[in-house]
């Protein structure tokens, strides 16, 4: 189980770094979404089992995974763009509890310690929800994150590149076709190249490791380890954005680490 735990922690570390670059890259939401879908689908196509893909793409689970992934990308990007990051993270990180509720698993009280830790880490922001669209978007992002967990587990394959391809193939095709003229006329510059590179290196392998963990970890442990992502977001904020460290944030990080350690 050690490899699965390391995989989950590594995925959270990568995917927590990902939004920092995406947010500061200065590209429109649509272009970021296309670059994510296209790069994930294109790279994973080299490693998939084509016979499995042909059997699975048109199944209900395959179609749902593709559609819900598209909804998840849009709602998460939109929600984080409309809300203060602290508020958005606080709402988004209810998704591990959603996973447990949907799986009808008992929720250990220690998980609420992790949720308190999230609040302490982000509570320097003014916690007010004055943008109802942003609230609904990030709530939808949390819900779709939980749904993706179950759909990936439902698609049985040891090759997690298959999960990646199924998740992003439809988005890559639909967005490339619908916005063909815009994409063709986009000037290839450093920002677009950086977006494709970030999606390929950080996002792609982050999700590959996450899907590996989803397929193999117990639901309760997976949900608990998900809170490690907010700890890494805090660490990156300190080292990359020069954010300050105070006692409240340190206690919040400790709460999350302790709750994760307890459930190992």
DSSP string, the chain: -HHHHHHHHHHHHHHHHHHHHHHHS---HHHHHHHHHHHHHHHHTTTS-HHHHHHHTTSHHHHHHHHHHHHHHHHHHHHHHHS-HHHHHHHHTTHHHHHHHHTT----THHHHHHHHHHHHHTTS------HHHHHHHHHHHHHHHHHHHHHHHS--S-HHHHHHHHHHHHHHHHHHHTHHHHHHS---HHHHHHHHHIIIIIHHHHHHHHHHHHHS-HHHHHHHTTHHHHHHHHHHHHHH-----HHHHHHHHHHHHHHHHH-
Tokens 């996002």 -> residue: 203
Whole-prediction pTM: 0.87
CA atoms in the 13 A half-sphere facing the CB of 107: 17
Tokens 């990051």 -> residue: 85
- 104 exposed, middle or buried (CB, 10 Å; 0-12, 13-18, 19+)? exposed
What does the pLDDT look like over 132-186, one tens digit per residue?
888 899 899 999 999 999 999 999 999 999 999 999 999 999 988 877 776 666 6
The CA distance from 43 to 39, in Å, is 6
The CA distance from 58 to 132, in Å, is 35
Instruction: Give pLDDT < 70 ranges for the chain.
Output: 19-20, 22-26, 85-86, 123-130, 182-195, 241, 264
Q: What is the pLDDT of residue 62?
A: 96
The CA-CA-CA angle for residues 187, 193, 197, to 5°, reads 155
The CA distance from 204 to 193, in Å, is 15
Q: What is the pLDDT of residue 216?
A: 94
In Å, what is the CA distance from 164 to each residue of 95, 174, 182, 256?
20, 16, 25, 28
Q: Which of 228, 227, 214, 234 is CA-nearest to residue 160? A: 214
Q: What is the pLDDT of residue 184?
A: 65
**Cβ atoms of residues 241 and 20 within 8 Å:** yes
The CA distance from 37 to 50, in Å, is 19
DSSP string, 101-165: HHTT----THHHHHHHHHHHHHTTS------HHHHHHHHHHHHHHHHHHHHHHHS--S-HHHHHH
**Cβ atoms of residues 211 and 148 within 8 Å:** no
């Amino acid at each position: 189980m050690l490899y699965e735990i390391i995989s989950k922690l590594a995925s959270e570390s990568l995917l927590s770094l990902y939004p920092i670059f995406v947010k500061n890259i200065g590209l429109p939401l649509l272009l970021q979404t296309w670059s994510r879908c296209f790069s994930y689908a294109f790279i994973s196509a080299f490693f998939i089992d084509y016979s499995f893909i042909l059997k699975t793409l048109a199944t209900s689970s395959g179609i749902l995974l593709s559609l819900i992934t598209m909804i998840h990308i849009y709602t998460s990007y939109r929600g984080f763009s409309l809300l203060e990051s602290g508020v958005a993270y606080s709402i988004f990180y209810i998704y591990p509890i959603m996973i447990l509720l949907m799986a009808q698993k008992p929720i250990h009280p220690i998980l609420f310690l992790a949720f308190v830790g999230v609040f302490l880490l982000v509570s320097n922001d003014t916690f007010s929800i004055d943008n109802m669209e942003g609230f609904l978007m990030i709530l939808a992002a949390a819900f779709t994150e939980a749904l993706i967990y179950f759909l990936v587990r439902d698609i049985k394959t040891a090759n997690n590149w298959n999960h990646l391809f199924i998740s992003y193939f439809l988005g890559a095709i639909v967005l490339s076709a619908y916005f063909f003229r815009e994409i063709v006329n986009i000037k290839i510059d450093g920002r677009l190249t950086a977006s494709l590179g970030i999606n390929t290196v950080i996002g792609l392998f982050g999700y590959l490791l996450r899907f590996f963990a989803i397929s193999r970890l117990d639901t309760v442990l997976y949900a608990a380890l998900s809170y490690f992502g907010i700890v890494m977001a805090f660490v990156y904020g300190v080292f990359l954005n020069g954010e300050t460290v105070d006692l409240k944030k340190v206690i919040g990080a400790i709460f999350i680490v302790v709750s994760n350690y307890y459930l190992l």
